[in-house]
Amino acid sequence: MTNTAQSLPFRKMHGAGNDFVILDSRGRDRVTTPNLAAALGDRHRGVGFDQLAELHDAGNADLALDFWNSDGTMAGACGNATRCVASMVMDETGRDALTIRTARGLLAAERRNGRVWVNMGPPLTDWDKIPLSAPQDSLHLPLDGDPVGVGMGNPHCVFITHDAEKVALEEQGARVERDPLFPERTNVEFISLLGEDHLRMRVWERGTGVTLACGSGACAAAVAAVRRGLTGPRVVLDLDGGRLEADWRDDGVWLTGPVAEVFRAELTAEFLAGL
C-alpha cells in the first residue's frame, strides 16, 4: 500500500457489537496486508475494529472473504463479519441466498424472515483438526477448569462456569490464548447456563482481546454445551454486545443475530502512503 496515491473506500459494520472494517475488492486485486490491517485496527491512529473482512471474487461462489485480526494476523473464520457481509450483498443484489468462499470452505448464507443466517460448517472435534499440539480428548482438555476444545475454522477453548460474569476475562483469556496446547493460539469463551437452551457468554478473541461478541465463538460455545449435555442443539447466547443464536444441524452450525452498518468512508492517500 505504500506506493498508492489513491484513497480506499470502506464500510464500518457490527454484529452485536463485534465490529468490522469491510473492504470490497471485487473486480480488483486484494489490498490488505499485515501492516494495513494492524494500522486500520488501531482505535487511536486508524479506524479500529475487532476484525477486518475483505471481499474478493470467487469463481465457484458468489464471493470470497478473507479475515484479519487487529494485530495484523489472519483469522480463519469470523461468523459475525460473514453475516454482515452477507446482509450487505443481499441488500445490494436483492437475493436471499448466497454462497461465500472462506478459508473454512464454502459457506451458505440465507435471509429468513428478515434475519440473515450463515452456516459456519460442521464443528471440528478431533484434536488435530482444532488443532491441539498433541492427542487429547477435546471434550475434556487438560487445563484448569476442564474446558472443551472446538474448531470452527479457527480454534476455540470453551470453559463452562457457574457464573461467566465473575470470570477474570482479560487475565484468563490472555493466558489461555497462548497456552502450548494450542499451536495456532486460540479463542477463549466462558459460558454459564441461564435457562433452558440459554447461555451467557463472554469472549477473548485470538489476536484481538476482549470483544463484545464473537460469531464463531458462539457456535463453538453451543457445540460445547450440547456435547456436555447442557442444552439442545438450538441455543440462544447473551453476549456483552447483544444476543446471538446458534443452531447445530446435520449440515453445520447456523448462526444469526443483529447486523448494523455504521458508516461509509475512505482512507486517505496520505494514510495509505505512510504504511
Q: Which residues contact 94 (CB under 8 A, 6 or more apart)?
A: none
Of the candidates 67, 80, 151, which has an alpha carbon nearest to the alpha carbon of residue 118? 80
List 84, 157, 214, 219, catalytic entry: 214
Is 214 a catalytic site residue? yes
- Tell me which of 78, 84, 157, 219 is the catalytic residue: 78
144 Rama sector, left if φ>0, alpha if ψ -120 to 50, beta otherwise? beta
CA-to-CA dists, residue 42 to 51, 113, 244, angstroms: 11, 36, 26
The whole-angstrom separation of Cα 248 and Cα 246 is: 7
Q: Which residues pair with 141 in a beta bridge?
A: none
8 A C-beta contact, residue 79 and residue 215: yes
Q: What is the 3-state secondary structure (H, E, C) of 151-188?
A: ECCCEEEEEECCCHHHCCHHHHHHHHHCCCCCCCCCEE
**Residues tagged active-site:** 78, 214
